[in-house]
Amino acid sequence: MCGIVAVIGSREAAPLLLEGLRQLEYRGYDSAGLATIQEVEKDGLGLLSCKRAQGKLNNLSSLVEKFGSPGHLGIGHTRWATHGKPEERNAHPQRDISGEIAVVQNGIIENHRFLRKELEAEGVSFSSETDTEVIPHLIGRELKRMQSDGGVISGSLLLTAVQNVTKELTGAYALAVVWARTPEALVVARRQAPLLIGLGEGEFLCASDTPALAGFTRTILPMEDGEVALLTPLGIELYNAEGKRQQRSPSLLTGIDHVVDKRNFRHFMLKEIHEQPDTAELWVARHLPAGLPPTSPVALPFDESFYQGIEQIQILACGTSRHAGMVGAYLLEQFAGIPTSVFYASEFRYSAPPLAPNTLTIGVTQSGETADTLAALAMEFDRRKANGDPAFASRQLGITNRVESSLARQVPNILDIGAGIEVGVAATKTFLGQLLAFYALALDFAARKKSRSSDEIISLSNELRLVPNYLRSLIHRHDQLSEQLAHRFTDTQDVIFLGRGINYPIALEGALKLKEISYIHAEGYPAGEMKHGPIALIDPRVPVISIAMPGMVFEKVLSNAQEAKARDAQLIGVAPEGPATDIFDALLPLPEVSELISPLLSVVPMQLLSYHIAAHRGLDIDQPRNLAKSVTVE
């Protein structure tokens, strides 16, 4: 979703902004822009240069190359359209009527209509349809008011204007502001949207995500909710929402947080699918080292108090992360014996179930920045606190791939899936990492609650240790098979994915992957539900992809697949080879593993088939239309 980069220092700002924005491209965007300020008189008025372009970042860099954008201070933005079409006039930076104030914003200003009307009544004419444009106009009005009250032009004046204006805004936002009259001041602010300050050598930076900073500095100061900061060449002044000066030590970025290259793969998504054996191997090394006793079968970073008294679990997540949560719920209920519910975070926020005691809430978000998931967790924290739940402060767990994210700062317990940065908008290796996190939790809870025998715990642990190798051979083989099969989907408009039990969420995930990157309509169903309606959709043009793994529901799934075949569906099986599975017109074969670990493997053909169908159609796989990697607005 929208990305912000800002810089003030001794180097030319535009190339740094463009490089930072390039690192944020993976989040998804449809236009980009930057503004720089060149000091023309010592301690006087600067020149604001603003360049914006619809489409890819290259369009913006061509503009900058052609016309230049001088100055050592600047702000940049990649925009994912919310208010107003993805056109140049709606791209950021947005400016006030004087053209001296420029603002970039990530979020949604919910009261923008009201503010716009108020400003229009005062004679302000708007040049965009964005919610953001009210901000530079409000800052301009506030600066004028303060100057007529004797305020002297300075960075501090700009800071105060932003502090005053942010009090008028409702909604979630992160923003960066420059003013041509203060060529040595950059003001940034955030409320419920991420923003981090980077402390570089001879420069300060600010960005909405670490990859944009990691190429310049590893020393970062994540801004807290409601904070506003003034950045000058001399230092940082940080204030909380009440205007009180804050002092905090910066932290060090660990790991490789900048976007790495595609190596020899055509797309990041394909590279990330191929990285899954490494994700699993690292997880086994960290959490399932050899020699752990069945009474304590996994190494997890929580102390005893975390586990005490947990009687039920609720999982909050969106999209693919919710599908991982559904597999997790299956494991926690069926293996560990803990009643578990899964919610769309966006629904939970406004219709949470009645409070039940001794409940652990798990938020699953690979980015750690999904607005709905963060807000749902915050809401749950607040209502438990208000209700006097004695464990309200410790009963939340976040499963994420980004340990420096807002999630990690918000919840007390974090399980890092350690998959390394994922660039492709379609989540693949992070889904696997989330699944593995749930296997670890299920093993842990089963051992603590003694809901499984030692033999069962040892057997599941041993099977999980084999997953990296299974994945290695599976991915290689399925890459070729899926590429061959993809040609059959040239004219396909609808696909149905079937699964049951622990593989039902994988059918949902298969459908989501296909929709996201190939734009083919797809639905995932629990196979037994077909005959209650969806079977009406079946005809020879609708492929049915059925996940059938030996286990409790194997025969049932095969019967459900037969029902589709009887109606002339093209039947594709994701199942082990053998006489039972020769009903399928095409087979994407899986090894015969236990049903319990099968989602870790059955998801691979889903990912590769979607990938190759989209590649065959020549689509923009890593940045599919309309999608964003981090969904930081409601």
Active site residues: 2, 629
In angstroms, give the least distance from the CB of 407 to ligand AGP.
8
Side-chain half-sphere CA neighbours of 493 within 13 A: 5
3-state SS of 335-354 is CCCCCEEEEEHHHHCCCCCC
CB closer to ligand AGP out of 458 and 627? 627
The CA distances from residue 496 to 483, 512, 572, in Å, are: 19, 11, 10
CB neighbourhood size of 535 (10 A)? 18
Nearest CA among 528, 502, 517, 506 for reference residue 606: 506
In angstroms, give the least distance from the CB of 582 to ligand AGP.
33
Per the CB < 8 A criterion, the answer to whether 3 and 21 are in contact is yes
Instruction: Please give the full DSSP string across 494-560, using - where no structure is assigned.
Output: EEEEEE-GGGHHHHHHHHHHHHHHH--EEEEEEGGGGGGTGGGG-STTSEEEEE--SSTTHHHHHHH
**DSSP class of residue 412?**
S
In angstroms, give the least distance from the CB of 427 to ligand AGP.
4
CB closer to ligand AGP out of 227 and 509? 509
In angstroms, give the least distance from the CB of 503 to ligand AGP.
18
Per the CB < 8 A criterion, the answer to whether 23 and 622 are in contact is no
In angstroms, give the least distance from the CB of 320 to ligand AGP.
3
* Residues facing residue 53 across a β-bridge: 32
CB closer to ligand AGP out of 395 and 513? 513
Q: Which residue has the tokens 């998959």?
A: 419
The CA distances from residue 437 to 295, 415, 419, 465, 512, in Å, are: 18, 7, 11, 14, 21
Side-chain half-sphere CA neighbours of 80 within 13 A: 25
Element of type H or E holding 246:
strand 245-246
The CA distances from residue 507 to 114, 346, 602, 615, in Å, are: 44, 22, 9, 21
Give the residue nearest to ligand AGP (CB): 319
CB closer to ligand AGP out of 181 and 323? 323
* 354 burial type by CB count under 10 A (0-12 exposed, 13-18 middle, 19+ buried): exposed
Q: Where are the alpha helices (DSSP H) in 250-405?
A: 268-274, 276-287, 304-307, 319-334, 345-348, 371-386
In angstroms, give the least distance from the CB of 365 to ligand AGP.
3
CB closer to ligand AGP out of 27 and 112? 27
CB closer to ligand AGP out of 319 and 468? 319
Per the CB < 8 A criterion, the answer to whether 97 and 47 are in contact is no
CB closer to ligand AGP out of 335 and 431? 431
State the residues that interact with ligand AGP by CB under 6 A. 318-321, 365-367, 370, 373, 425-427, 516, 631
The CA distances from residue 164 to 118, 139, 182, 479, 543, in Å, are: 16, 8, 18, 56, 58
CB closer to ligand AGP out of 10 and 626? 626
In angstroms, give the least distance from the CB of 307 to ligand AGP.
25
CB closer to ligand AGP out of 204 and 431? 431
Per the CB < 8 A criterion, the answer to whether 126 and 120 are in contact is yes
CB closer to ligand AGP out of 314 and 366? 366
Residue 77 has φ and ψ, to the nearest 5°, of -155, 140
In angstroms, give the least distance from the CB of 364 to ligand AGP.
7
Rounded CA gap, 441 and 518, in Å?
A: 34
In angstroms, give the least distance from the CB of 297 to ligand AGP.
27
Q: Which residue has the tokens 């004046």?
A: 157
In angstroms, give the least distance from the CB of 3 to ligand AGP.
15
CB closer to ligand AGP out of 105 and 373? 373
**DSSP class of residue 27?**
G
Cβ neighbours for 530, distance < 8 A, ≥ 6 positions apart = 496, 498, 560, 563, 564
Per the CB < 8 A criterion, the answer to whether 396 and 413 are in contact is yes
In angstroms, give the least distance from the CB of 447 to ligand AGP.
28
Element of type H or E holding 235:
strand 235-239
